[in-house]
Amino acid sequence: MSYWCEWAWLRDGPGRDVLIETDGARITGVTPAVEPPPDTPRLRGLTLPGAANVHSHAFHRALRGRGAEQRGTFWTWRDRMYRVAQRLDPDTYYRLALGVYAEMLLAGFTAVGEFHYLHHAPGGQRYDDPNAMSAALVAAAREAGIRLTLLDTCYLSSGFGSPPEGVQTRFSDETADAWAQRLHDFDGRHDGAVLGAALHSVRAVPKAAMPVVREFARTRGVPLHVHLSEQRAENDACLAVHGRSPTQLLEEQGMLRTATTAVHATHLAAGDIARLGRSGTGVCLCPTTEADLADGTGPADELSVAGCPVSLGSDGHSVIDPFVEARAVESGMRLRSEVRGHFSPDELTMMATGTGHRALGRPDAGSIELGSLADLVTLDLDSPRMAGVPPRAAVTAATAGEVTDVVVDGRRVVREGVHQLVPDAAGTLRESIRELVEDS
């Protein structure tokens, strides 16, 4: 299959009249400045590499627009989130995730990292298939047509030294060895998805259990992700128990390295930025969720300068839009510093594309060049929002509403704004959320 692009984002930025040839999954030819060959699909507008959503909790999508009027904090929001988590089973999770992943594709994401910790039945009982919830997510991603990195998450404690409580028993495998065995048993069943690992947080995994998670990821050569310093309360508790910051603790346990991505990194202690940077640890920022939950704004510019590759995630899905996330990183830095221009449009575009795919264990995705995975997203440059905007600055103005076409593995999954595999994505979401939320 070949596609002719009016504009395409190449290594040096936007090029005109670009013919992209594929053998299915991979790009086999990129030729600028050519007339469109007969019978070749034409992608009018600007075609970018597919975006990567590095941090997702699919079931949080059910909370969008609920509780927005209530004053509170992350912790009051968490109570509502736990009520949704308590209601999910493999069937309802599949239906919800199918709608969420379809929405991501319609927004321009071609890959997602699912930070998955909802493993077991209510009360912590094992399903007959202990990986039934994982299988539901894999099936939903396959059906929607999105690339999945399933970041199976180890969660053993509700706090430093405290056992899981209430719905948290659904998250826990009780020991790190049992967590690793469950993942081992899932090998061969993840249908093309990358099976990665995650440490929920330093409060949820005791120090003695961390090496099991680290070695699972290291020996398999897969990504390792961790929530880091999202809340000041967690930092304070870690300091009280361990006498060091969460970042220091992770460094001492050998968790910081180039295959690791720290999610949020909002409230870092002095020296933590340097620790993350010198280890090459990536950082995934989720600015719309961090704003929605009143978490705060992390030091994106300092992390980038220190050497941390910065990627983006929609996390709780109050918004699913790679362009809004990218702009929010720059906006957050301007509000912190009262200075403009921390990240260029090229850098923001890279956060949303190539850097994100590498964080998900797909270094061969996120660029339009020979050998790359054939994942493309086309933006309408003729919408009122984009009128007069130079193609190179598209990320500074575009939204998911400008996405017209999405190609994954050379296959057109979204065509003229319609998802070809899940045509009624809105209905799928509406019905699945109605099953889960009391006031729907």
Q: Is 340 exposed, middle or buried (0-12, 13-18, 19+ CB in 10 A)?
A: exposed
Residue 72 scores a pLDDT above 80: no
Residues of the chain with CATH 3.20.20.140: 55-359
- Asked if 225 and 115 touch (Cβ cutoff 8 Å), the reply is yes
Q: What is the pTM of this model?
A: 0.97
Report the CATH architecture of 2-49+371-422.
Roll (2.30)
Nearest 5°: the CA angle 162, 57, 71 is: 75
Q: How many CA atoms lie within 13 A of 306 on its CB side?
A: 20
From 124, 104, 12, select the one nearest 58 (Cα to Cα).
104
Contact 149, 164 (CB under 8 A): no
Half-sphere exposure of 77 (CA within 13 A, CB side): 22
The token duo for 158 is 């509700």
Q: What is the pLDDT of residue 69?
A: 62
Q: Is the pLDDT of residue 440 over 50?
A: no
Helix (H) or strand (E) holding 92: helix 90-107
pLDDT of residue 439: 60
- The most distant pair of C-alpha atoms in the chain lies apart, rounded to whole Å, by 68
pLDDT for residue 290: 96
State pLDDT tens for residues 108-147. 999 999 999 999 999 999 999 999 999 999 999 999 999 9
In the predicted model, what is the mean pLDDT of residues 332-354? 97
What's the CA gap between 187 and 439, in Å, rounded? 39
Q: Give start-end residues of each CATH 2.30.40.10 domain in the chain.
A: 2-49+371-422
pLDDT at 345 over 60: yes
Determine the Cα–Cα distance for residues 343 and 393; give it in Å rounded to an integer. Answer: 12
Mean pLDDT rounded to a whole number for the chain = 96
The pLDDT tens digits of the residues spanning 227-255 come to: 999 999 999 999 999 999 999 999 999 99
Residue type at 407? V
Q: Rounded mean pLDDT of 354-377?
A: 98
pLDDT at 14 over 60: yes
The rounded Cα 283 to chain-centroid distance in angstroms is 11
Q: Determine the average pLDDT of the residues in 74-95.
A: 91
Mean pLDDT of 175-194: 94
Q: What is the pLDDT of residues 185-226, one digit of tens each?
A: 998 888 899 999 999 999 999 999 999 999 999 999 999 999
User: For the segment 292-302, what is each residue's pLDDT rounded down to a tens digit?
Assistant: 999 999 999 99
Residue 371 carries which side chain, given as an amino acid letter? G
Q: How far apart are CA 396 and CA 389, in angstroms?
A: 9
What percentage of the chain exceeds 90 in pLDDT?
A: 92
Residue 70 has pLDDT above 80, yes or no: no
CATH superfamily of 55-359: Metal-dependent hydrolases (3.20.20.140)
pLDDT confidence band for 68 (50 / 70 / 90): low
Which pLDDT value is given to residue 126? 97
Alpha helices per DSSP H over 341-421: 345-352, 354-359
Residue 103's pLDDT band (boundaries 50, 70, 90)? very high
Residues with catalytic annotation?
A: 264, 315
The secondary structure of residue 390, as a DSSP letter, is -
